[in-house]
Structure 1
Amino acid sequence: MNTPFQFTVLSPQEKIDWLRLARTELIGPKTFFETLKKYYNPTQALEALPDLLSKKYPKKNLKIPSIQDIQQELEQHDKLKADLIAFVEPEYPEILRHIADPPPVISVLGNRHLLQKHALAIVGARNASLNGKKFAEKLARELGDYGYQIISGLARGIDTSVHVGSLSSGTIAVLAGGIDHIYPYENTDLYYKIAEQGLIIAESPFGTIPQASFFPRRNRIISGLSLGVIIIEAAKQSGSLVTARFALEQGREVFAVPGSPMDPRSYGTNKLIREGATLIQNSDDVLSSVESFIKIQPPLQGQKENPYSQEISLLNNKNDEQTHHILLNLLSSSPIGVDEIIRECHFSMSEVMLALLELELAGRIQRYPGGQVSLKG
Structure 2
Amino acid sequence: MSKDSAGRSGVALTERQKISWLRLIRSDNVGPIAFRDLINHFGTAENALDALPELSRRGGTRQAYSVATQSEAERELEAAQRHGAVFVGIGEPGYPSALRQIDGAPPLLAMKGNLQLATRPSLGVVGSRNASASGAKFAAMIARDTGRAGYVVTSGLARGIDTAAHRASLETGTIAALAGGLDRPYPPENIGLIEAMTAGHGLAISEMPFGWEPRARDFPRRNRLIAGISLGVAIVEAAHRSGSLITARYAADFGRLVFAVPGSPLDPRCHGTNDLLKQGAIVTTGPHDIIEALAPLSQLELGLPGAREPETQAQLGVPTSTKDSDRAAVGAALGPTPVEIDDIVRHTGLAPAQVYLLLLELDLAGRLDRHAGGLVSLATSE
Q: Give TM-score, length-normalised by structure 1.
A: 0.77
1:257 aligns with 2:251: no
Query: CA separation of 1:8/1:57 partners in 2, compared to 1, >3 Å: closer, same or farther?
Result: farther
Q: Is the 8 A contact 1:248 1:371 kept in 2?
A: no
Quote the residue 1:331 is aligned against: none
1:59 aligns with 2:62: yes
Quote the residue 2:206 is aligned against: 202
1:138 aligns with 2:141: yes
* Partner of residue 277 from structure 2, selected from 269, 273, 290: 273
* Partner of residue 232 from structure 1, selected from 219, 232, 236: 236
Question: How far apart are residue 138 of structure 1 and its match?
Answer: 1.6
CA deviations 1:229-249 (Å, max 9, x no partner) are: 000000001000000000001
Q: Is the 8 A contact 1:233 1:259 kept in 2?
A: yes
Identity %: 43
1:22 aligns with 2:25: yes
Q: Which has the higher contact order (CA 8 A, sep 6+)?
A: 2
Quote the residue 2:360 is aligned against: none
Question: How far apart are residue 65 of structure 1 and its match?
Answer: 1.4
CA RMSD of aligned residues (A): 2.2
Which 10-residue stretch deviates more, 56-65 or 262-271? 56-65
* Amino acid across the alignment from 1:90: P
Distance 1:82 1:372 in 2: 32
CA deviations 1:336-367 (Å, max 9, x no partner) are: xxxxxxxxxxxxxxxxxxxxxxxxxxxxxxxx
Q: Is the 8 A contact 2:149 2:291 kept in 1?
A: no
Quote the residue 2:286 is aligned against: 282
Quote the residue 1:222 is aligned against: 226
* Partner of residue 122 from structure 1, selected from 120, 125, 128: 125
Question: How far apart are residue 48 of structure 1 and its match?
Answer: 1.0
Distance 2:373 2:32 in 1: 19
Distance 1:142 1:91 in 2: 25
* Partner of residue 44 from structure 2, selected from 36, 41, 45: 41
Q: Is the 8 A contact 2:231 2:298 kept in 1?
A: no
Q: Is the 8 A contact 1:249 1:369 kept in 2?
A: no
1:163 aligns with 2:166: yes
Quote the residue 1:325 is aligned against: none
* Partner of residue 100 from structure 2, selected from 85, 88, 97: 97
* Amino acid across the alignment from 1:221: L
* Amino acid across the alignment from 2:209: P
Question: How far apart are residue 62 of structure 1 and its match?
Answer: 2.6
Question: How far apart are residue 369 of structure 1 and its match?
Answer: 6.0
Quote the residue 1:305 is aligned against: none
Distance 1:372 1:37 in 2: 16
Distance 2:149 2:95 in 1: 24
Q: Is the 8 A contact 2:265 2:271 kept in 1?
A: yes
The structure 1 segments of at least 4 consecutive aligned residues displaced by more than 6 Å after TM superposition are none
Distance 1:209 1:244 in 2: 25
Match of 1:84, SS state, is strand
Q: Is the 8 A contact 2:126 2:155 kept in 1?
A: yes
Distance 2:301 2:255 in 1: 18
Match of 2:216, SS state, is coil
Question: How far apart are residue 67 of structure 1 and its match?
Answer: 0.8
Q: 1:337-356 counterparts in 2 under 5 A?
A: none
Quote the residue 1:110 is aligned against: 113
Question: How far apart are residue 185 of structure 1 and its match?
Answer: 0.1
Quote the residue 2:151 is aligned against: 148
Match of 2:163, SS state, is helix
In structure 1, list runs of 5 or more residues that go unmatched: 1-5, 296-309, 313-333, 336-367
* Amino acid across the alignment from 1:273: L
CA deviations 1:288-341 (Å, max 9, x no partner) are: 22224434xxxxxxxxxxxxxx957xxxxxxxxxxxxxxxxxxxxx99xxxxxx
Which 10-residue stretch deviates more, 96-105 or 256-265? 96-105
* Partner of residue 291 from structure 1, selected from 295, 302, 309: 295
In structure 2, list runs of 5 or more residues that go unmatched: 1-8, 303-341, 344-369, 376-382
Query: CA separation of 1:370/1:86 partners in 2, compared to 1, >3 Å: closer, same or farther?
Result: closer
Q: Give TM-score, length-normalised by structure 2.
A: 0.76
Q: Is the 8 A contact 2:103 2:374 kept in 1?
A: no
